[in-house]
Structure 1
Amino acid sequence: MLLNFNSLLAALTFYTCFPVSQNLKLDFSRIARWAPVIGLLLGTGLGLVDLGLDRLNVPSLTRSAIVVVLWIWWTGGLHLDGAMDSADGLAVQDPDRRLTVMSDSVTGAFGAMVSVAIILLKTCALTEITHDRIWILALAAGWSRWGQVLAIALYPYLKAQGKGAFHRQGLNAAQDIALGLACLLMVTGCQIYLQPANGLAISIRSIASCTITVLVGYYFHRRFGGHTGDTYGAVVEWTETFILCLSTIAL
């Protein structure tokens, strides 16, 4: 079944640190298809926290920093860890050693620098975004995880074993790509419906976000020759970052 709530709850358990009852029979076999939905829910939650802080007159920079920290906390740092490991792998000149370096639990200098860059760019970009923050947060988190689904479906997985291996094994590529895209377009359509005067700008931002999503996944494929669980996380983090930076541009 396309609608499998045990699978959706399993995705919530895997991709976030939110507690789910252990008495439920969770189905982890095809959780990747739900990643964009989890992203939309996560971004909406962050947007609601941001809105509450705004009502308390918390300054924009402080609000943005709190939201970014919550973003890391609620995901358990899963994707940021992948971005750091991917950066360490890219720093190695010998392509044959990259996967070995990425598997090392010790964070290298490039991984540390990338984590600082991502957190800094997200915080600064959010600070500059003064309108539609809840929409932008939801869609940035949603598009980035749709990029993960694309990477799983379109590119080879480079490890025989690993946390990301079962994602590819359980993916129904066409159906799962379409599911995530439909959810994202529905949310975008709702925003256009509620803000018809900004319809063109919202549409341009949506097309640009989709383009960023595709290009980030392709970039890591070109550099590594495929993907791993770490590069899936890197796709999520860098896509979120670039979409937030894009959203600072007044359209």
Structure 2
Amino acid sequence: MKTLWQEWLGAIAFYTCLPLPPRWPMQLAGAAKWCPWVGLLLGGMLWGAQGVLQFLRVPPLVAGVGVVALWLGLTGGLHLDGAMDTADGLAVQDPRRRLEVMADSRVGAFGVMAAIIILLLKATALSGLERNSALVWVLVLGRLAQVWAIARYPYLKPQGTGQIHKASGCFPRDFWPSGLLVLLLIFLLPVSLGQFLFGLLLILLIPAWLQQQLGGHTGDTYGAVVEWTEALMLVAFTTESAS
């Protein structure tokens, strides 16, 4: 139990900007399996923020932008940065240079465009969302997609922040926290079968497509998996609201 608690704290410290007491023991190795639970924590906070903005009668689009801004603040833009670097790398025609471009700290035009599309999708989808509880599902499934990418596909760099997650993982055993959380959400925050299956499809297809383009994954592509899964799941929930 002590190790699990340290892994949980390590997941919060790595994947969020939430303050933790500096003396609390934390462990990054093995923390990746708790990513969906971090999504539960963040999703609950965003759900509350969205509810407060609606109570204050803030215009829907403004409220959507505000929630997305808080979203970025809570995560430090960690996943969005990875999505931007991944977009820049995929824009390179020579597959052998893609990892080199992704490692460059400078952001290119394709990275900026990817960020704009993701942020616009999220903000506009939030403005039309009827069930704020959907935010919990969105953040959980986005991080479940990351856990799947870590477990299923090779890591392309000998070093890097994502390497420790791949090296310390023990799959399929490490899927038990994610499975438990999904079961709890099915009972507590039920969604339609179509939405659930669409989320599972994204979890399978987005990491697989990036694997096909690059031959594996990096810390940047893990971030891209999270961001695109979240954005497209929000669109799916908004589509339900519109119908």
Normalising by the residue count of structure 2, what TM-score does the alignment of the two structures yield? 0.96
Q: Structure 2 CA distance, aligned partners of 1:39 and 1:191?
A: 14
Structure 1's unaligned 5+ residue stretches are 193-200
Q: Kindly tell me: are residues 231 and 59 of structure 1, through their superposed partners in 2, closer, same or farther at Cα, counting changes over 3 Å?
A: same
- 1:36 matched to which residue of 2? 36
- 1:169 matched to which residue of 2? 167
Q: Structure 1 CA distance, aligned partners of 2:224 and 2:129?
A: 23
Alignment of 1:8-19 (within 5 A): 8-19=8-19
Deviation at 1:211, TM superposition (A): 1.2
Amino acid at match of 1:167: H
Deviation at 1:188, TM superposition (A): 2.1
Q: Structure 2 CA distance, aligned partners of 1:167 and 1:191?
A: 29
1:7 has 2:7 as partner:
yes
Counterpart of 1:146 (choices 144, 147, 151) is 144
Q: Structure 2 CA distance, aligned partners of 1:95 and 1:126?
A: 36
Amino acid at match of 2:125: A
- 2:227 matched to which residue of 1? 237
Deviation at 1:170, TM superposition (A): 0.9
Deviation at 1:2, TM superposition (A): 9.2
- 2:193 matched to which residue of 1? 203
Counterpart of 1:242 in 2: which secondary structure?
helix
Q: Structure 1 CA distance, aligned partners of 2:184 and 2:26?
A: 27
1:124-171 Cα shifts (integer Å, max 9, x gaps) = 1111212x11x2111111001010010000000000001100001111
Q: Structure 2 CA distance, aligned partners of 1:92 and 1:171?
A: 31
| Structure 1 segments of 4+ aligned residues over 2 angstroms from their partners | 201-204
Q: Structure 2 CA distance, aligned partners of 1:110 and 1:60?
A: 29
Amino acid at match of 1:180: S
1:28-86 Cα shifts (integer Å, max 9, x gaps) = 11110000000111011101011111111111111111001111111000000000000
Q: Structure 2 CA distance, aligned partners of 1:71 and 1:30?
A: 24
- 2:103 matched to which residue of 1? 103
Percent identical: 42
Deviation at 1:3, TM superposition (A): 7.0
Q: Structure 2 CA distance, aligned partners of 1:117 and 1:46?
A: 20
Give the alignment's Cα RMSD to 1 decimal.
Answer: 1.4
Q: Structure 1 CA distance, aligned partners of 2:176 and 2:193?
A: 19
Tell me the matched-pair count. Answer: 241
| Contact map agreement 1:188 1:202 (CA 8 A) in 2 | no
Deviation at 1:178, TM superposition (A): 3.2
- 1:21 matched to which residue of 2? 21
Counterpart of 1:172 in 2: which secondary structure?
coil
Deviation at 1:182, TM superposition (A): 2.3
- 1:195 matched to which residue of 2? none
Alignment of 1:31-110 (within 5 A): 31-110=31-110
Deviation at 1:6, TM superposition (A): 1.7
Q: Kindly tell me: are residues 79 and 5 of structure 1, through their superposed partners in 2, closer, same or farther at Cα, counting changes over 3 Å?
A: same
